[in-house]
């Protein structure tokens, strides 16, 4: 058996409109990334705000129809993020202001074009909600592993729009999911720092940063600045 051609079905004669209308979410000129953890006060706020920050670093602004948000499977509705999470974001120069926790709702999953979860349990909970979420829901580290295996040359150039490129990236990752398995079950997990000291929060922040970097590079086509 041979691995699937991840370039097929991405740009093989289909127009951007034809591909984008196959996804559930906002109108086809936007792409919504949803980060999911448990309380939506630690891991998913860090991941949300770091994604925004790293995309803005590469593209100059967070725009082009890319929307990044987060929620929690047992979300603390209306709560601020943990102070240690704010500190971690500050370490990276990312903006922590104005964050408000949310409980994960059906409408969040329905509108999302890509769901990235902290753990496999979160991924299972999102998929169990239905809404054809299976092909667009991954743990963050799982998605990173898959993205690293995708040849950037098979993705549409950024000139065709970050939304078109992002949708092609999700399709390619989904095609590879059954071929690139995690070396261990724990390899796809980002553990919960809730209640832990700042040193552990910082280690989680570094872990999230390491996982996000290749994802944002693949989304934007622009590597991180040295």
- Quick: pLDDT tens for 97-140: 999 999 999 999 999 999 999 999 999 999 999 889 999 999 99
Residue 121 is assigned to a structural domain of this protein: yes
Nearest to 187 by CA among 144, 134, 124: 144
Range of the domain at 146: 31-220
Specify the number of domains making up the chain: 1
Radius of gyration of the chain (CA): 17
3-state SS, residue 67: strand
pTM for the structure as a whole: 0.86
What local confidence, expressed as pLDDT, does residue 92 receive?
97
**Residue 11, pLDDT score:** 27
How far is the CA of 173 from the CAs of 20, 155, 202, in angstroms?
16, 11, 28
Say which residues have a Cβ less than 8 Å from residue 181's Cβ, sequence separation at least 6.
none
Rama region for 32: left / alpha / beta (φ>0; ψ in -120 to 50; rest): beta
How high is the pLDDT of residue 106?
Answer: 96
Q: Is residue 152 part of a domain?
A: yes
Q: Is residue 22 part of a domain?
A: no
* pLDDT confidence of residue 19: 30
CATH number of the domain at 79, please. Answer: 3.40.50.2300
Provide the pLDDT for residue 226: 60
In a domain, 10, yes or no: no
Question: Does 19 map to a domain?
Answer: no
What does the block give as tokens for 113? 């074009």
- Check residue 223 and give its pLDDT: 86
Closest to 19 (Cα-Cα) out of 31, 7, 11: 11
Q: Which two tokens stand for residue 70?
A: 């987060």
pLDDT under 50 in the chain at which residues? 1-27
Choose among 113, 168, 120, 125: nearest CA to 140. Answer: 120
Q: Which is nearest to 135 in space by CA: 143, 203, 187, 21? A: 143
Q: Is residue 12 part of a domain?
A: no
Q: How far apart are CA 209 and CA 91, in angstroms?
A: 11
């Amino acid at each position: 058996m041979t691995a699937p051609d991840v370039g097929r079905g991405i740009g093989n004669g289909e127009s951007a409109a034809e591909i984008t209308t196959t996804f559930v979410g906002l109108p086809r000129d936007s792409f919504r990334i949803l980060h999911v953890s448990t309380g939506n006060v630690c891991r998913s706020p860090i991941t949300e705000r770091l994604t925004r920050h790293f995309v803005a670093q590469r593209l100059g602004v967070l725009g082009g129809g890319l929307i990044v948000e987060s929620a929690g499977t047992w979300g603390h509705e209306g709560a601020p993020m943990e102070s240690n999470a704010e500190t971690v974001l500050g370490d990276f120069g990312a903006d922590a202001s104005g964050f408000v926790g949310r409980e994960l709702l059906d409408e969040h999953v329905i509108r999302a074009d890509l769901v990235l979860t902290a753990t496999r349990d979160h991924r299972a909970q999102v998929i169990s909600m239905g809404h054809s979420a299976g092909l667009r829901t991954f743990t963050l580290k799982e998605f990173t592993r898959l993205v690293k295996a995708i040849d950037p040359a098979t993705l549409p150039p950024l000139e065709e729009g970050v939304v078109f490129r992002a949708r092609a990236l999700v399709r390619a990752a989904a095609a590879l999911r059954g071929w690139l398995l995690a070396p261990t079950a724990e390899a796809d997990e980002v553990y919960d720092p809730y209640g832990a000291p700042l040193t552990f929060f910082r280690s989680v922040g570094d872990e999230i940063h390491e996982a996000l970097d290749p994802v944002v590079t693949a989304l934007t086509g622009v590597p991180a600045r040295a």
